[in-house]
Structure 1
Amino acid sequence: MAGSFEEWVLGAQGSLINYAYLLCGDREEARDLVQEVLSAVSRRYDVIVADGNITAYAKRCVTNAVISARRRARPVLVSLTHEIARPAESDKVPDKMVAWQLCAELPPRQRAAVVLRFWEDASFAEISQLLDIPESTARSHVHRALATLRERLGDGAEETA
């Protein structure tokens, strides 16, 4: 049996906030979403702990909260035709910044799958469990996200298995 809710929160909060931040891209929104999730989890902590991995459950709740927040926001989508300009060597933006900007444009479930796969180093089976989707859908989300990122980067790289 796991320890108390408070003990679990002390150990898991950093990971949950980082995960939420990578999904939503805003530090304050990430903290707010995690707070909401922890509040909901606290009410059912004993049941969730008895059922299995509470951290996986909380990450799934964070993913769902980010997706729900995006749906409520209802952004206006505009088709952009301008190609991303490659900066001169002297004004290059770090690759991590470019990757972050491109990932932020992915649909929420694809972004969640990419974050889980490459940041959290989760297997497709773990992604499947965390997002409550079939493993084949987890693979598809990652594949489509990578294809979109390659297309946006315009590097023409061959796809790998």
Structure 2
Amino acid sequence: MDRHDDFREFVLARQQGLMRTAYLLTGDAHLAEDLLQSVLIKVARRWSKLSGDGSPEAYTRKALVNQYISWKRRPQREVLSADLPEHGTCHDDAALQRIMLRQALAKLAPRQRAVIVLRFWEDLTEAQTAEALGCAPGTVKSQAHRALARLRALAPELAYLLNDPEIVEVAR
């Protein structure tokens, strides 16, 4: 058995979930791939310690968030367009809602976006989100509350999604 077999199994089992998290953080499939690849390289280097702890997924998720925030702090060389597709293209309502939500998420501060992704898409508890972000659960609550308020202001047409009682209750 190769010493990297456990790591390969971990990646194969969690790759889709980690890629989804990376995509939701970055909003771009190519950047998400780059983010996940750079994080998995770091995880592979520390695998012997991580696999013994029993929490490689939590470490990997935290590394994704930290690397994403670190990337956002660097000056960007490319300017990505956040404009809606041209009117000649036919999209259903769900696709347009996803585009609008993605645009609004892109305007959040990196930590707010990370809180929204981890709490509502990854369905982590406040404690798990706090652990992944390296902050207190109260900070997660306040960041979620501010992020949802900002999303309501940025995308009022999606208010019905953001006024879901379950989401509002979780953010309090």
TM-score by length of 2: 0.75
8 Å Cα contact 2:100-2:155 kept in structure 1: no
Task: Quote the offset at 1:13 in angstroms.
Answer: 1.4
Mapped partners of 2:67, 2:33: distance in 1:
12
1:54 pairs with one of 53, 56, 73: 56
Residues 25-71 of structure 1: per-residue CA shift (max 9 Å, x gap)? 11111111111111111111121122231111101101111111111
Residues 126-151 of structure 1: per-residue CA shift (max 9 Å, x gap)? 11111111000011111000011112
Task: Quote the offset at 1:14 in angstroms.
Answer: 1.3
1:30 pairs with one of 29, 32, 50: 32
1:115 pairs with one of 110, 114, 117: 117
8 Å Cα contact 2:25-2:117 kept in structure 1: yes
Residue 129 (structure 1) aligned with residue 136 (structure 2): no
CA RMSD, 1 decimal: 2.4
Equivalent positions of 1:1-161 (< 5 A) are 4-73=6-75, 94-154=96-156, 161=172
Mapped partners of 2:141, 2:76: distance in 1:
27
Query: Which residue number corresponds to residue 84 of structure 1?
Result: none
Percent of aligned pairs sharing the same letter: 39
Mapped partners of 2:49, 2:150: distance in 1:
40
Q: Report the AA paired with residue 48 of structure 1.
A: L
Q: Report the AA paired with residue 99 of structure 2.
A: M
Task: Quote the offset at 1:100 in angstroms.
Answer: 1.4
Residues 10-30 of structure 1: per-residue CA shift (max 9 Å, x gap)? 111111111111001111111
Mapped partners of 1:115, 1:32: distance in 2:
18
The secondary structure found in structure 2 opposite 1:121 is: coil
Q: Report the AA paired with residue 61 of structure 2.
A: K
8 Å Cα contact 2:26-2:68 kept in structure 1: yes
Task: Quote the offset at 1:122 in angstroms.
Answer: 1.2
Give the count of matched residue pairs. Answer: 145
The range that moved more, 45-54 or 32-41, is 45-54
Mapped partners of 1:150, 1:29: distance in 2:
26
Q: Report the AA paired with residue 47 of structure 2.
A: Y
Mapped partners of 1:113, 1:149: distance in 2:
13
Task: Quote the offset at 1:94 in angstroms.
Answer: 2.3
The secondary structure found in structure 2 opposite 1:122 is: coil
